[in-house]
Amino acid sequence: MLKYLFFLSFFYDLCIASEPISPIPQTVEYDKAKALLGKKLFFDTALSRDNTVCCNSCHVLREGGADENQVSVGVEGRKGNIQSPTVYNARYNFKQFWNGRARNLKEQASGPMNNPHEQDMNPQLIEKRLNASKIYRNLFKKIYHTTRISYNEVINAIVEFEKILITPNAKFDRYLRGEVKLSQQEEKGYALFKQYGCITCHNGINIGGNSFQKMGTFFPYKTKADYPDRAKVTGLKRYKNVFKVPTLRNIALTSPYFHDGSAKTLLQAVQRMSHFNLGVEIPKKDAKDIVAFLKTLTGVKPKILDK
């Protein structure tokens, strides 16, 4: 116990002194050639069985890295079973997918490609398709020094691209670094965000994405469909409706909200979250202030998208 006390006294100052939210770094190290190849793949519909969808179909980079539809549409118009989470800043999520079944980006990237409702491919088919292309063969040969493209290299390139899909320099990050001031409303929104307890789950670099929480902690959240939740991964009933806490970065760009896409606006989302998870009916004025704060979380998209 003494050890814990020691740790406590040590961290006490730190935690009081620093904000529970940290800014996204300005730059990250990456392999440019691989990332550009990954970008090409990210936008290539050849990675779906009927050549209709690509990664970008559901993670629309020019918007919030997510899908404006309640659920995404895969090959042959098949519908997905959950709202598409944003690909931006995904590298800072502790797990991938809503229920955290993938431990990292590499595991995640394979998911949609092999999902019959999404891209409906398999590694062999992907290899066959890409190896048929002279352009890809040359690109992979240049970068991976192989004559035959392998599935692992495809995933590797996509992951390398996803690694740089970060959105630094959001107004709030710049505020944290002391570069700008928030407006009165935004500042109040942030205070309320903390006071109401939103911060309890939405904290860290991604303002979320670092823990699982139950949708409907306080009041049970009624769902229409059977969503792939944490219970599906662990096999434990008490994890019913438990999902990864989603990131709030670029939240203004990624409506609709929640795993079921049921909240169309931020205001709606804030109010419903505080009801179900905090047991609090937030006054509309406070909710608007919080929304104003949330809008400061929109960052600058990476330059690689310009090329």
Q: Which residues are catalytic?
A: 118
Question: What is the rounded distance in angstroms from the CA atom of residue 242 to the CA atom of residue 68?
Answer: 23
Mark residues 129-168: x for contact with other proteins by CB under 8 A, - for none: ----------------------------------------
x/- map, 240-259, other proteins, by CB under 8 A: --x-----------------
Q: Which of 131, 169, 217, 223 binds other proteins (CB under 8 A)?
A: 217
- Contacts of residue 27, Cβ cutoff 8 Å, sequence gap at least 6: 168
**Shortest distance, position 192 Cβ to other proteins, whole Å:** 10
Q: Pick the binder of other proteins from 180, 199, 231, 267 (CB under 8 A).
A: 199
Measure the CA–CA gap between 111 and 88, rounded to whole angstroms: 17
Count of other CB atoms within 10 angstroms of residue 82: 20
Which of 129, 214, 249, 295 binds other proteins (CB under 8 A)? It is 214
Q: According to DSSP H, which parts of 43-122 are helical? A: 55-58, 105-114
Which tokens sit at 205?
């670099």
| 237: contact with other proteins by CB under 8 A | no
197 binds other proteins (CB under 8 A): yes
Q: Which is nearer to other proteins, 38 or 85 (CB)?
A: 85
Q: Is 210 in the site for other proteins (CB under 8 A)?
A: yes
Q: For residues 266 and 295, what is the distance between their CA atoms, to the nearest angstrom? A: 9
65: left (phi over 0), alpha (psi -120 to 50) or beta: left
d(CA 283, CA 276): 15
Smallest separation (angstroms) from other proteins to the CB of 136: 34
- Total site size for other proteins, rule CB under 8 A: 37
Q: Torsion angle of alpha carbons 149, 151, 155, 156, nearest 10°?
A: -50
3-state SS track over 134-188: HHHHHHHHHHHCCCCCCHHHHHHHHHHHHHCCCCCCCHHHHHHCCCCCCCHHHHH
Amino acid type, 88: Y
Indicate the residue among 209 and 256 with the shorter CB distance to other proteins: 209
Q: How far is Cα 98 from Cα 82, in angstroms, rounded to an integer?
A: 8
Site string for other proteins, 79-118 (x = CB under 8 A): ---------------x--------x---------------
Taking the CA atoms of residue 201, residue 206, residue 209 and residue 211 in that order, the dihedral angle to the nearest 10 degrees is -40
Q: For the CB of residue 204, give the shortest distance to other proteins in the complex, in Å.
A: 4
Please tell me whether residue 234 binds other proteins under the rule CB under 8 A. yes
Give the three-state DSSP class for 39: helix
Which residue, 196 or 227, has its beta carbon nearer to other proteins?
196
Is residue 201 a contact residue for other proteins (CB under 8 A)?
A: yes
Q: Which stretch, 20-28, 249-257, 261-269, 294-302, contacts other proteins (CB under 8 A)?
A: 20-28
CB of 294: closest distance to other proteins in angstroms?
16
Question: Which residues contribute to the site for other proteins (CB under 8 A)?
Answer: 3-4, 7-8, 11, 15, 20-22, 94, 103, 194-197, 199-201, 203-205, 210-214, 217-218, 234, 236, 238-239, 242, 277-280
